[in-house]
Amino acid sequence: MLKNIVLDCDGVILDWRQGFYEWIKVWGYTAVFPPHPADYTMITACPDKTEEQIRLDMARFNASEDFARLSFCEGAEAGVNALRAAFPTSRIVVLTAVGQSDRTLALRRRNLAVLPIDEVICVPLGASKRRWLETFARPGLIVEDHPDHAAEAIELGFGAILVDRPWNRAFAHHEIERVASWNEVVDASRRRLAGASAGKLAA
């Protein structure tokens, strides 16, 4: 039985990059097209700011009303509902590294309120998710767009699915399955559970 399905949020469920990109333009940044830079610092989108300044603005954005109005990634709403239907007794957790303030958590919960998820956990901005993953019962499956989080989950015995995005294309890992859509997330999850032993998911 699959105990925990751990979903990343930004770049998997919600289009944080597009939302942040629109927000920084309002605040007078030079925001460089295209709106999906291939790095996590967003420095290529904001060449007139330092990495530290951008990081502070990320925290500001993540506490703003706009943060609760991020668009869903293509297929995400249907995909999470399909996971819920396919795994009715599994715990579906959104584990998201957007900062831990009460306000950011409340805004994120509001944005995700339409989805059938059991819990939203916010961890420090940009932090490793290892400390939280270690506490989750396995077998478990993580769905990520960040290679580092997916690789950490593999080290802890989780199955890992990486949603293909422009910013993670340089990454490859033989145990991490790359998928191109939410339909493929659901298909891969079903297939892994079908082949699962008691303690470990099929690759």
Q: What is the rounded CA–CA span in Å between residue 36 and residue 132?
A: 28
Task: Between 25 and 40, name the residue whose CB sits nearer to Mg ion.
Answer: 40
Q: What is the rounded CA–CA span in Å between residue 94 and residue 7?
A: 5
Q: What is the rounded CA–CA span in Å between residue 90 and residue 55?
A: 35
Residues that bind Mg ion (CB under 5 A): 8, 10-11, 145-146
CB of 10 to Mg ion, least distance (A): 4
Region of 28 please: left (phi>0), alpha (psi -120 to 50) or beta. Answer: left
Task: Between 76 and 201, name the residue whose CB sits nearer to Mg ion.
Answer: 76
CB of 11 to Mg ion, least distance (A): 4
Q: Where are the alpha helices (DSSP H) in 3-124?
A: 16-26, 51-61, 76-86, 102-111
Task: Between 70 and 186, name the residue whose CB sits nearer to Mg ion.
Answer: 70
Contacts of 90 (CB under 8 A, 6+ apart): 1, 2, 3, 4, 5
- Residue 194 has φ and ψ, to the nearest 5°, of -60, -35
CB of 190 to Mg ion, least distance (A): 23
Q: Which residue number has the CB closest to Mg ion?
A: 11
CB of 39 to Mg ion, least distance (A): 13
CB of 123 to Mg ion, least distance (A): 12
